[in-house]
Amino acid sequence: MRVSLPHMGNLYIPCRAILEQLGVDYVIPPANSQRTLSLGSRYSPEGLCIPFKMTLGNMIEAAEMGADTLLVPGGYGICRLGYYTRVQEQILHNLGYDIEIIQLGVSERKFAGMMDLIRRVTNNAPWHRVLSAFRFGLTKLNAVDQIERMVQKVRPVELVQGTANQIYTKAISAIDNTDDYDTLKRVRADYLGQLKQVTTDQQAHPLIVGVTGEFYVVLEPFSSFDIERELGKLRVEVRRTTFISGWTKFSLFLNPLGINEKSRIHKAARPYLKRDIGGDGWESVGEKVLHNKEYDGLIHLAPFTCMPEIIAENIMPSTKENIPVLTILCDEQIAKAGVITRLEAFVDLLERKRRVQKDQRRVTA
C-alpha cells in the first residue's frame, strides 16, 4: 500500500509527520501548479468547483508517483462535497489507475474516525504509537499556523518588501524537516524571532482586510491567486479566522463536546440567513456582520459555481453593516492579472473611504 493525499495549504506537513512516524509508505504529490489545475480541469465534469478540480489534479499526480490509496478528509454536507470522492475515484479508474480513496468523514466520526483511519493504513499499529504520531503532527500544524499569523502582521509594514515571505518559506520547510519536539521547538522560536526582528515602518497604519469564503480556497493559496501575498504587496494587513489548526481542534475534539466555535458567527448571520446552506456560506455572511467595525473591507473568496457562496454573495449587499466586500470567483478560467487589478481598485476605494472618514471626524471635532 502506498498512501497519498491531496493538498490544501500546509496540511501535508502534519500528515507527512504522522505517516513518517508510523513508517507508512507514502508520497506527497508535487506542490499545486498550473499542471495540477490543468489535469484536474481536463478530467472533471465542467461545472464542478475548483476544490474538486485541484484535488483531482493532485490525485492524478499522486497516482503517477505510484500511490494506490488516497486519504481524503471530507464529509457529508448540504452541497456536493459529499459525493466528491466517489466521482473522483470513478474518474481515476476510467483513467486506468487502480486506486482506492478512503474518505475520512470528519463531520460524522470526528476523532474516532481519524484514529480508525490511521490504524487502517498502518495495519493496526498500537494505539500509543498512533496517538504519539498524531500529537506530533498537531504540534507541527500549530507551529506552521503560528508562523503564518505572524507573517500576516509583518508583511504590510516591513521596510524591505518580500522579507517576511522569504522567512516564511524557510520556516515552513524547516518545520517540515523536523523529527522531534526539541528541534521543532527550537525552529519555531528561531523563525518567530526572525520575524519579530524584521525592520518595519513604525508609523504605518495599514488597512485591515478580512479574508473569508469557502474553506478550501481560503486555505489553499494557489487556488485563490495567492491573494494574501498580493494584499501584503499593497500594504494591507490580512485577517483570517480560518486556520487548519483551529479547524482540527474544534472539529475533532471540541465539537463532540458540544463546543461550537461557529455559534457566534451564526448568531451574527441569523438576521439575514437563518440556516446552514452548505459549505461555508452561512459563515461568510456572519463574518461580514461580526467584523464590521474591525475591518476596513472584506474579501470574499468563492469557487465559481459554489452554491453556498453564491447565496452568501447575494445576501451580503443587503446587510445594514456596510463594509465594502469584494467577491472573487476562483476558477481555472480566471486570470491572476485581472484579480490583481480588482484588488488594487478595491484597496484604492478603502483608502479613500478612510480619508473621508478622517476628514469627517476632523470637521465634527
Q: How many residues bind ligand SF4 (CB under 6 A)?
A: 13
Distance CA 339, CA 304 (A): 14
Answer yes or no whether residue 40 interacts with ligand SF4 by CB under 6 A: no
Q: What string of DSSP letters covers 268-320?
A: HHTTT--S--STTHHHHHHHHHHTTTT-SEEEEEEETT-HHHHHHHHHGGGSS
Instruction: For residue 279, state whether it binds ligand SF4 (rule: CB under 6 A).
Output: yes
Burial-class residue 263 by CB neighbours within 10 Å (0-12, 13-18, 19+): exposed
For ligand SF4, the closer CB: 156 or 308: 308
Minimum Å gap between C-beta 306 and ligand SF4 is 3
The interface region with ligand SF4, picked from 39-47, 53-61, 146-154, 300-308 by CB under 6 A, is 300-308
Residue nearest ligand SF4, Cβ-based: 279
H or E stretch at 105: strand 100-105
Q: CB nearer to ligand SF4: give 40 or 51.
A: 51
Shortest separation between residue 207's beta carbon and ligand SF4, angstroms: 28
Instruction: State which of positions 210-239 bind ligand SF4 (CB under 6 A).
Output: 214, 216
Return the closest-CA partner of residue 26 out of 48, 55, 4. Answer: 4
User: In whole angstroms, how large is the CA radius of gyration of the chain?
Assistant: 21
* DSSP β-ladder status, 236-239 and 207-213: parallel
Smallest distance from ligand SF4 to CB 310, Å: 9
Stretch that binds ligand SF4, among 98-106, 124-132, 188-196, 305-313 (CB under 6 A): 305-313
* Given 53, 283, 303, 343, the residue binding ligand SF4 (CB under 6 A): 303
Nearest to 327 by CA among 285, 294, 291, 295: 285
Contact window for ligand SF4 (CB under 6 A) among 187-195, 299-307, 312-320, 332-340: 299-307
Q: Which is nearer to ligand SF4, 16 or 80 (CB)?
A: 80
The length of the chain, given as a count of residues: 365
Least Å distance between CB 348 and ligand SF4?
A: 29
Smallest gap from Cβ 326 to ligand SF4, in A, equals 18
Helix (H, G, I), strand (E, B) or coil at 254: helix
Q: Does 49 participate in binding ligand SF4 (rule CB under 6 A)?
A: yes
Tell me which residues in 70-99 interact with ligand SF4 (CB under 6 A). 79-81
Listed residue (113, 177, 118, 117) closest to 143, CA to CA: 177
Other C-beta atoms lying within 10 Å of the C-beta of residue 75: 16
- Cβ neighbours of 115 (radius 10 Å): 16
Could you identify the residue written with the cell 490525485?
59
- Nearest distance in Å: CB 51, ligand SF4: 5
Please, which residue, 5 or 17, has the CB nearer to ligand SF4? 5
Cβ atoms of 287 and 298 closer than 8 Å:
yes
Q: Which is nearer to ligand SF4, 81 or 154 (CB)?
A: 81
Q: Using the rule CB under 6 A, which residue among 6, 9, 29, 51 binds ligand SF4?
A: 51
* Contacting positions for ligand SF4 (CB under 6 A): 49, 51, 79-81, 214, 216, 278-279, 303, 306-308
